[in-house]
Structure 1
Amino acid sequence: MSYQHGAYGEIGNDKVKSAVQVDTVVAYIGTAPINLVLGYKEKGLINTPIKLENMPKTQATVGYSSNWNKFTLCEPFDCHFANTIGNVGPIYIINVLDPAVHQKDVKTTVELTFKNGRAEYVTDTIILDTFALSDKVLGADYSLDYNYTKGAVVIESLNDADPITGTVEASFTEVDPSLVTKSDIIGSVTASGKRTGLQALSKLYTMFNAVLNILAAPFWSEDPDVYKAMISVVQKLNGHWDAFVNADLPIYDSKAKAAIDTLKKAEEWADSNGYNNGFSKVYWPQVQYAGKVYHLSTQATVTMQRVDNSHDNIPMESPSNKEIMCTAQYFGANSENEGFDQQDGNELNSKGITTAVFWGGLWVLWGPHTAYYEYGSDGVARYIFDVNIRMLMYITNGFQRRHGTQIDSTMDLSLQQSILIDEQEELDSLKGRGALIGDPTVEFLETANPTSNLMNGDFVWDISATPTPPFKSGTARVSYTDEGFTAYFGGGE
């Protein structure tokens, strides 16, 4: 056993014969248009967790653009805070876009026409802090703002007696989101201790006392290197917490320069690129709604959070077969694929790929499995369903949160028994809610606690629990019988 100091939780081997969690904590990593925020440098908006709760606060804090390909975090903003099914949050983001680094080399110069002391210019790439109006002083001669409804910079004269009129030259630097690479998303920890990209997620707990539950990175998670990095960072974050990844398969492979627009291509791509980790769900294709195209990982993350919230943030129910914002599947602008039904969706599910299908009069997320699952193969039971592994994470994370403050207290028999009682009560409560079935138990076993470990202050409690499985399929068997013909001869009634 390695040196340990603190409360820990481990997901052990399955035992198969034939929760103090706060809100479900969702985090996204990507690029936000912080270039539209005045004074962004002083506000700490780069490579650090930011909590967002609604669209107005989001726009004021990190900006917003309808160009999701450039500013990838704006898709989650829309999906969480402008959701026709129901808004859900809060969310946390890590923005890696740094306007001081990711910018165009040459300044932009435009001619602005002022009318009644006011001018507008449509752009979402302007770095507002660099805006300059010829021969005018910001704050003295004019004010500067951004209108998110119009997607335009608004310049207003401050001198009503002598307003700015006519055509005036303005200059500014523009941000270039294309300069952001997967290395920025994956991030690193420097020798001086600075954390960037995914590594900045470790600050989520220290800054907000929040334990990560779900991580997503629309646009970026379809890169195998980013996917692997996401899987790595969610296991024992801060040395303690386990979380779950929602990731996408691409609809276009930029490396191979080929469309991934059929079931077979998606299955082959997932297999050859290793999208099969049990700490994740993977999704394909994308979906359309109200003229917008969404990654399914974003729709799934919103749905997971909504379903968890309906159970007091216990991840006891799969997001599968829950309504999402969708009117059609999307395979790319040039694809000839006209979509598929539940039967084809089941083919994807059998390979551990979650999708979207039309069922029961609604478009729903379809697939209760983790990416590890493959029908017909012998596998690890805890990775069969998303609820299996997420409930085990809930239990281990909860144990650590409940007892972390007791670390370095005197471990007398009273404390040992108190932990046993507390944990059994927690398990019984989860069973009572329907999150667990059978008889979940917690034990303090002599075999797991040798004297050498106890002498060093290391104690282990063994928990056995069976998460309640989803109702994946139901079959009604109907048999024809000729016995009804006796009714013709007086044998009925």
Structure 2
Amino acid sequence: MAANFLHGVETIEVEKGARPIRTVKSAVIGLIGTAPTGAVNTPTIVLSDRQAAQFGGQLSGFSVPQALDAIFDQGAGTVVVINVLDPTKHKTAVPSELVALTGDIGKTEKPAWVAEAVIKNEAGTTTYVLDVDYTSNSLSGEIRRKAGGAIDANGKVKVSYEYADPSKVTAADVIGQVNNAGKRTGMQALLDTYNAMGFFAKILIAPGFCTLNSVASELIVLAGKLRGVTLLDAPIGTTYEQVISGRGPTGNINFNTSSGRAVLCYPHLKVYDTATDSERLEPYSQRLAGVMCAKDTEKGYWWSPSNTEIKGIVGVERELSAMINDPQSEVNLLNEVGITTLFNTFGTGIRTWGNRSAAWPSVTHPKNFINVRRTADILHESVEYSMLQFIDMPINNALIDSITESVNAFIRVMVGRGALLDGKCTYDRNKNPPTEIALGHLVFDIDFMPPTPAERMTFESFINIDLIKQLGQ
């Protein structure tokens, strides 16, 4: 009853019943790496190849531009980029480099200057003037003489410059920390994205750096905090035998883990490099991340990323035997120990191959399937975020009913989409004694089952002589 007196009529709005639950984003990649340009240690959303241009071109040694190209080759995805290359710290000075011009153009050995270069004549006695004697492109390291300037065509100049040097980025830079200003750096900056953007990255990659045990272990920890998975590559040049032994304690690579948050990727892929007109190797993880985002967008996060053709590649680092009906083929033996690999045989193209995380074979629960793990994460996080509207309401039967009805309505939506086979949310009185309710604590049960992938099919064949009886009928 209202505390104040009223001689009249009033209306009180009562909120009860189910509330809609919004599905959290799944097709979001967290990319940690190095770029010649772009924001440093700041989460930056990239939605297309045009937006990717802010991090510079595909220069040798810089992982972010190459990874963005690999991801968007697959067709879809949201990428949150953390560029850990700080040009004020990760740089190298070239005090004097002799550059020969071909006609009007010359180029320094190293691109990505962090400041304008000083250009002198070959003897070093005359300093040329920018925009009078020459123009330059600090990203590519190109020098172009100007007509009427003091530089001769086909001449030589001495160039002093500093360039962004990705080789000086350390594992500590990639892992990050909370600095003196209270700002998170490196991969830790991904923890700030929900407050800033309304979502977390669900697929974490650090191409090139994830081969380091220190970085791989921290990626696994971060994936757990963000309810995501991390894709880890074997080091370039790893042999088939080394990658298998790497799953055990005697191995010397970063694959000795049983985390359900880790997806182990082998081998590297070959792509065509337009800058050098040749093939180069790139990590499998960045293409697989793009495949997962595209599959999430086109089919749904409950689909396995396996058995999907990879776009934009011309070959693989190491050929592996692949037969769909041969348990002794190399790709099958890799899958058997929890490694995601590539299937490439006659007329198939190069396809992703593997359904399970590094939890397999240690964990036989269905959550070792990548799609089951990710579906559970989406369900849990979507439900948790939607409960904000119920927090601090008075505990009564109406509140309990509203919560269970809301979650069950969401589960029905997931069942209708195919993300779940079935599920329900219930309130068990035995798990909610008066002492806990008096403390403001409620417990609900959620039972659910995502579909597992059709990883293995068996046909039982019989030669039935009784079928001979049909002859002559």
Residue 48 of structure 1 and its aligned partner are, at CA, apart by: 1.8
Cα distance in 1 between the residues matched to 2:287 and 2:71: 9
Residue 445 of structure 1 and its aligned partner are, at CA, apart by: 2.4
Correspondence for 2:451: 468
Cα distance in 1 between the residues matched to 2:81 and 2:344: 31
Residue 410 of structure 1 and its aligned partner are, at CA, apart by: 4.7
Percent identity between matched residues is 24
Residue 446 of structure 1 and its aligned partner are, at CA, apart by: 2.7
Q: For each residue in 1:452-490, what CA deviation from the matched residue of structure 2 results, as whole angstroms up to 9, or x when unmatched?
A: 4433433332211101111112122221122243355x4
SS at match of 1:369: coil
Q: How many residues align?
A: 425
- Tell whether the 8 Å contact from 1:33 to 1:124 is kept in structure 2 after alignment: no
Correspondence for 1:91: 79
Within 5 Å, give how 1:453-492 maps onto structure 2: 453-488=436-471, 490=472
> Which structure 2 residue ranges, 5 or more long, are not aligned?
1-21, 121-126, 250-254, 273-278, 324-328
SS at match of 2:446: strand
Q: For each residue in 1:308-338, what CA deviation from the matched residue of structure 2 results, as whole angstroms up to 9, or x when unmatched?
A: 0113xx410011001113443314xxxxxx4
Cα distance in 2 between the residues matched to 1:221 and 1:206: 26
Correspondence for 1:324: 310
Cα distance in 1 between the residues matched to 2:109 and 2:405: 60
Amino acid at match of 2:320: G
Distance 1:426 1:123, change over 3 A: farther
Amino acid at match of 2:465: D
Amino acid at match of 1:80: I
Residue 301 of structure 1 and its aligned partner are, at CA, apart by: 0.7
TM-score (norm 2): 0.81
Match of 1:77 among 68, 74, 88: 68
Cα distance in 1 between the residues matched to 2:445 and 2:231: 29
Cα distance in 1 between the residues matched to 2:337 and 2:369: 13
Residue 107 of structure 1 and its aligned partner are, at CA, apart by: 3.2
Residue 132 of structure 1 and its aligned partner are, at CA, apart by: 3.7
Cα distance in 2 between the residues matched to 1:327 and 1:235: 34
Residue 98 of structure 1 and its aligned partner are, at CA, apart by: 1.2
Cα distance in 1 between the residues matched to 2:24 and 2:227: 12
Distance 1:51 1:107, change over 3 A: farther
> Which structure 1 residue ranges, 5 or more long, are not aligned?
1-18, 35-39, 253-259, 332-337
- Tell whether the 8 Å contact from 1:112 to 1:170 is kept in structure 2 after alignment: no
Residue 261 of structure 1 and its aligned partner are, at CA, apart by: 0.8
Amino acid at match of 2:257: Y
Correspondence for 1:271: 248
Residue 191 of structure 1 and its aligned partner are, at CA, apart by: 5.3
Correspondence for 2:174: 185
Q: For each residue in 1:27-50, what CA deviation from the matched residue of structure 2 results, as whole angstroms up to 9, or x when unmatched?
A: 11111122xxxxx6xxxx222211
Residue 294 of structure 1 and its aligned partner are, at CA, apart by: 2.7
Greater CA drift, 347-356 or 180-189: 180-189
Correspondence for 2:213: 224
SS at match of 1:200: helix
Residue 97 of structure 1 and its aligned partner are, at CA, apart by: 1.1
Cα distance in 1 between the residues matched to 2:28 and 2:143: 36
Amino acid at match of 2:107: Y
Cα distance in 2 between the residues matched to 1:229 and 1:54: 28
Match of 1:420 among 389, 404, 415: 404
Greater CA drift, 317-326 or 453-462: 453-462
Amino acid at match of 1:339: L
Residue 127 of structure 1 and its aligned partner are, at CA, apart by: 2.0
Cα distance in 2 between the residues matched to 1:174 and 1:226: 25
Distance 1:139 1:427, change over 3 A: farther
Q: Does 1:389 align with 2:373?
A: yes
Correspondence for 1:27: 30
Distance 1:407 1:138, change over 3 A: farther
Q: Does 1:364 align with 2:351?
A: yes
Within 5 Å, give how 1:407-446 maps onto structure 2: 407-437=391-421, 439-446=422-429
Correspondence for 2:50: 56
- Determine which structure has more spread, i.e. the larger CA radius of gyration: 2
- Tell whether the 8 Å contact from 2:96 to 2:158 is kept in structure 1 after alignment: no
- Tell whether the 8 Å contact from 2:95 to 2:159 is kept in structure 1 after alignment: no
Residue 447 of structure 1 and its aligned partner are, at CA, apart by: 3.4
- Tell me how large the CA RMSD over aligned residues is: 2.8
Correspondence for 2:298: 310
- Tell whether the 8 Å contact from 1:352 to 1:372 is kept in structure 2 after alignment: yes
Residue 412 of structure 1 and its aligned partner are, at CA, apart by: 4.9
Distance 1:212 1:447, change over 3 A: farther
SS at match of 2:350: strand
